[in-house]
Structures are given as structure tokens and as C-alpha cells.
Structure 1
Amino acid sequence: MAFYLAKTEPAEYSILDLEREKRTTWDGVRNPQAVKAIRAMQLGDEVLIYHSGKEEAIVGVAKVLSEPRPDPNDTKSWVVELGFVRHLTRPIPLREIKESHLFDDWSLVRQSRLSTMPVPEEFIAWLQQGQTL
């Protein structure tokens, strides 16, 4: 199982919206690197949901429920179905991730505008060690 991170503006679509709806089509991704991440997702992979904007924190976990497929509304994009899994025991602010300096080479830290990306295994271990995942 692989892990990914997907950013969303909570005013547009939040972890609470995903929890209420149970599943959603994750769309609107156009950056080639982010689309590549979506295309690499497989059934059962987990996706950390990140609230961008004022909050800037990882807030929950979703599961990939479908194979990725071309976006029927945008030839430059791909979509995937995500299902709600859980909230984290506490949000993990971007500030905390940056201040640790353990993940300075991760796209979340280096490419702040990238909306979807793989998550390093070391980060998942760090979350599990802190019992937040």
C-alpha cells in the first residue's frame, strides 16, 4: 500500500464534506506532477487530506476506491474516487513538518503549490510514532 497527499481548500471541499458524503471523485488537478501522482494511485492506497489556506495542516485520511481514469471534463487531468477513512487524532500543521527538518526534500515542503503528491514512507512512520495516524 502506498500513501499520497491531496490538498484541498476547506471552504471549497473539506474533510468534513468527505466524511458526510462518504466518497467523492477527486478532480480538478492539472499540474503534470500532480496528475502523475493520481495516475499512480491504486485501489486501497491511502491519501492524507491536507487543508490549504489558513489552516495548512494534514487533517485526515481517505482511501482510494477506484482505479484512476481520465477526467471526462478535462483532457489534461485524471480523477480517482476517494472514500473517507478517519480524521487524524490531531491536525499536523505544515509548520510542524517544516520545523522538524526531517522532510525538507518532500514535495510538500519544497513545492508548496503542488496539490497531489506521494508521501515518503519515513513520514508515515513519523506519524505512526507520534500516534497521529
Structure 2
Amino acid sequence: MNYWLVKTEPEKYAWSDLQRDGQTTWDGVRNFQARNNLQQMKEGDPVLYYHSVSEKAIIGVAKVSKEAYPDPTADDPRWVAVTLVPEQAFAKPVTLDQIKKDERLQNIALLRQSRLSVMPLKPEEFDLLLSLGQ
């Protein structure tokens, strides 16, 4: 099993939208590294859902329900999408400031590659972030 973090602007597609819809196609990714990460996602992989820009916080946990398939918003077949379903909302958001201040998270991709929209997490990073959100 792999662990992931995806970033979205809450004004475009918030956690509440995912909960309301029950699933979403994670499409529109046009960064090669993020695309490669989408291609590595497997059904059942847990995904932390991060609100970028205005909130800068992890809001909940989703799960990959459908592995990489052609992105319906792209004309180029090299771009892919996955389907995500909501699993659980965090009891309290885990903010970017909290993450930056936690010595155990100093090597997390969110801090090292802040512009990347789809990134892997180590199991221990995922577990720690999950515990911070409970």
C-alpha cells in the first residue's frame, strides 16, 4: 500500500464537495511528476486531502477507488486521472504551520516540493498527520 497527499484549492473543489458527491475524478493534472504519482496510485491507497491557497490545511482522508485511466479533460493520452472517494473528515484540520513546526515532518514532500499537487507520503508521515487530525 502507498500513501498520498493531493492538493486542491477549496474554492475549486473542497472536501465538502467530495463528501457531497461521494466520489470525484482527480483530473486536470498537467505536471509530469504529479502525473507519474497518479500512475502509481493503487485501488485502496489512502490519500490525505489538502486545501491549498486560502486554508493551507489537511482536511480529511480519501481513498483511491479507481486506478489511473485517461484524463477526460486532456486530448493527450499521456495524462491520467484517478477516482477518489471520501473516507473520513479530520476532527481538526492539520495546518501547514503545524507541519512546518513539527521536526518529524521536515522532509515531507509538502515542504520540499510545495508546488507539487500529487505527492507520496511515507507510512510514518501519513500516520503522524492522521493522528494530528484526530
With structure 2 as the length reference, what TM-score do the two structures score?
0.91
Partner SS state of residue 127, structure 1: helix
CA distance in 2, matches of 1:98, 1:33: 23
**What number of residue pairs does the alignment pair up?**
132
Partner SS state of residue 66, structure 2: coil
Is the aligned partner of 1:81 residue 2:89?
no
Is the aligned partner of 1:19 residue 2:19?
yes
Partner SS state of residue 17, structure 2: helix
Which AA in structure 1 matches 2:40?
A: A
Alignment root-mean-square deviation, CA: 1.4
Which AA in structure 1 matches 2:107?
A: D
Partner SS state of residue 30, structure 1: coil
CA distance in 2, matches of 1:69, 1:27: 10
CA distance in 2, matches of 1:61, 1:125: 11
Which runs of 5 or more residues in structure 2 are unaligned? none
CA distance in 2, matches of 1:22, 1:109: 29
With structure 1 as the length reference, what TM-score do the two structures score?
0.92
Mapping of 1:1-133 within 5 angstroms?
1-74=1-74, 75=76, 76-130=78-132, 132=133
Percent identity, aligned pairs only, is 43
CA distance in 2, matches of 1:23, 1:107: 25
Q: 1:82-131 CA distances to partner (integer Å, 9 max, x unpaired)?
A: 1111101210001111111322222200111110001121212323544x
